[in-house]
Structure 1
Amino acid sequence: MSPGKAVFFYQTPESDFEPLQIEQNKLIGQKSGFTDAYQKLGEPKSLAPQDLAFGNPQTIDVCYVPPTVNEIFCRFSLRVEANSVEPYVCDDRKVSYWLKRFVETYKEHGGFKELASRYAKNILMGNWLWRNKQSPGFDVEVLTEHSEPIVIEGAQRLKWNGVWGNDEAALATLTEAIENGLANPQAYCYLDITSRIKTAFCQEIHPSQKFVDNVEQGMSSKQLAYTQVDGKQVASLNAQKVGAAIQTIDDWYTEDLKRLRIHEYGADKQVLVAHRTPKNGLDFYSLLPKVAVYIRHMERDGLEDDEESKHIHYLASILLKGGLFQRSKG
């Protein structure tokens, strides 16, 4: 799954693409942190009342909808390739054989359809918009190579485990397109995805935020991601951020917990906890040596709603995500 940058823009009577630009604001930040008034052990610092009233000058990037604009667009492309059918590089023929056989068996039993359905849900629900979903409403349109445009109106009402009603057909069409791209090396799936977001007056937009090590004089301490179009800085979401939202499908690790982004150790960045560890045996590296067992399970019982099948789906999703899965040189 290879997404591109998601670019924000709006339309006018004269232009179908007006870049949503990033502004630089200079302001006086307030002192509100714990260390401004307390020492490490919680002892108050010796301060005058005026010391906590002074502010710190800051420069930050911000992004807002222009006053005359009522809706904006966010658009990105997604390429789906069948790169997970076998290892790209592997110096152990036995490992390569079992991984290839695992994916072939998974494909034969419809496993890719399950993954494709989950990816399709995240796309049509607009999860890749992140905080920008919090708006008066938004639509999602997906263009594929082999079908009519897939359109979801009022996508904010869709729920992961909810009833999709009239939108079930759209979900099925997109699922089939993604499944074909994942499973068939001769079929390349290219998707063009656009969201039309209804906005409030001068609503704030949240592009990706850059990670900044050192802030030089005059630079913003908070920098937003952008791409250049005709010399203008166009607000955007990083491809990695878009991909993270699409791959938030792991609810196989336990019951009644939120979905996680596919990760070898089930990392939950919100609470700084890994749900898949060597201790509970649910991490990728604990499950990977069991591929032969999982192949026999699929050949005997197929992919049912049991613990073994959950492990199989998780393994396949990690292989699809890709990565360097080598041990140390020793």
Structure 2
Amino acid sequence: MAKKATSTATAFPSVLAFEKKLVPSDARMSTVDWNLRNKTDGQPLKLQEKSVRGTISNRLSTKLEKDPAKLDAEVEKPNLQTVDHCALPADCDTLKLRFTLKVLSGVQQPSACNLADFQSTYAAAANAYIQETGFRELAIRYATNLANARFLWRNRVGAEAIEVVVTQVDGDENKSWTFDAKEIGLQSFEQEQSDELAEIIAASLAGEREFALFDVVAYSKLGQGQEVYPSEELVTEKGSKSKVLYATDGVAGMHSQKIGNALRTIDTWYQESPLRPIAVEAYGAVTNLGTAYRKPTEKNDFYTLFDKFGQGGTIDPDQTHYVMAMLVRGGVFGKSSK
């Protein structure tokens, strides 16, 4: 995968953008009975609204902690909340989540670039990567994250059984694969069950076919009446609800961005002995841990690696996979002159 470095590095474009090549739709949620999951479309899941009187449980100031009377007064205050809620009905035990995924080609061509010299050196590097790897390593990881239902997020936790059905729906092929998601697991990409699916994804990314389109359906057996977890909306202004869940056309759903984040959770190259895969991000950001695993000071962030890769330099093969995964993710990567 090594490439010959150019004798002189080109300047870096101030305008540089790549369109994403993995394009998921929003996911819609419905409910079925596990034993009838392949015989019925199920019923769409609707959001419910709850108004509850909670208790004070946040960490109090030192002043309140030391004054029993003030503490009693604080605890007596009603903590009134109105929240969105979503749960399976009492007579159904399984969540059905469905979305489509389109895989596109053309990653070797930026959607915008204002420097012809850079576009030429980058295209040469990207084509060399495609010729040598055929996108197989990335495709295996994307296919695994479809097969293991990582995109279910919290709806994967505590499930008795999880089944994923992926159907290729472009053209007349209509191939279909069924996976036992719990058997595949979340920690490893070394399995062969999704190899055929990975081959189609790789061929699409590498430009051997124009695109591929998949219909993805996951069944998570959670238990009758159990709570399910759509995407939560970002509340930027104080309103009547303290928690707002996402719905599409009145049906509980999950943001396409959240589906995409799960599919690109393939980065095990951020350190020598990773505890788990993380999502492909420019600085290896994991927000719930408050950590950036790819720091510019350690020279393993995207921009440091991409600057070298895009100008014809040589970087570590594993980091080349990471850089190409970032370009599949898409984004605006121009370098300001300031």
Map 1:1-330 onto structure 2 (within 5 A). 1-11=22-32, 16-35=41-60, 37-38=61-62, 47-134=70-157, 135-144=159-168, 145=170, 146=173, 148-153=175-180, 155-159=181-185, 160-161=187-188, 164=191, 168=192, 170-184=193-207, 186-216=209-239, 219-228=240-249, 233-257=250-274, 258-291=276-309, 308-330=316-338
1:328 counterpart letter in structure 2? S
Unaligned runs of 5+ in 1: 298-306
Give the counterpart letter for 1:312 in structure 2: T
Whole-Å separation in 1 of the counterparts to 2:306 and 2:328: 14
**Equivalent residues of 1:85, 1:183 under 8 A apart:** no
* 1:163 Cα offset (Å): 6.6
Give the C-alpha shift of residue 55 in structure 1. 2.5
Report 1 or 2 for greater relative contact order, CA contacts < 8 Å, sequence distance ≥ 6.
2
8 Å CA contact 1:20–1:65 kept in 2: the answer is yes
- Asked if the contact 1:115/1:313 (under 8 Å) is kept, the reply is yes
Contact 1:83 1:185 in 2 (8 A): no
Alignment CA distance shift 1:275-1:39 (3 Å): farther
Match in the other structure for 1:302: none
Q: Quick one: distance in 2 between partners of 1:185 and 1:158?
A: 28
| Residue correspondences, number | 307
Show the counterpart of 1:304. none
**Partners of 1:227 and 1:242 in 2: CA distance:** 15
Structure 2: give runs of 5+ residues left out of the alignment. 1-21
AA matched with 1:238: H
**Residues 145 and 151, structure 2, Cα contact 8 Å, conserved in 1:** yes
**Cα distance 1:119–1:48, how it changes in 2: closer, same or farther (>3 A)?**
closer
For residues 79-120 of structure 1, the C-alpha deviation after alignment (integer angstroms, 9 at most, x for no partner) is: 111141211110111111111111100100115110000101
Following TM superposition, by how much is the alpha carbon of 1:147 offset from its aligned partner in structure 2, in angstroms? 5.1
Deviation of residue 34 (structure 1)?
1.2
For 1:51 and 1:292, how far apart are their aligned partners in 2? 59
Q: Which stretch shows the higher mean deviation, 276-285 or 238-247?
A: 276-285
Whole-Å Cα distance in 2 between the matches of residues 26 and 314 of structure 1? Answer: 46
1:137 Cα offset (Å): 1.0
1:43-90 per-residue CA deviation (whole Å, 9 max, x = no partner) reads 769715243133211100110100011223100000111141211110
- Deviation string 1:232-264 (CA, Å, 9 cap, x unpaired) is x21111000000000001110112222111111
Find runs of 4+ consecutive structure 1 residues off by over 4 angstroms.
Answer: 11-15, 42-46
The separation in 1 between residues aligned to 2:57 and 2:71, in whole angstroms, is 15
CA displacement, residues 261-297 of structure 1 (integer Å, 9 cap, x when unaligned): 111111121221111111000011111222268x675
Give the secondary structure class of the aligned counterpart of 2:273.
coil
Name the SS for the 2:84 alignment partner. strand
1:201 positional shift: 2.1
> What is the percent sequence identity of the aligned residues?
27
The TM-score normalised by the length of structure 1 is 0.86
CA contact 1:116–1:176 (8 Å) conserved in 2:
yes
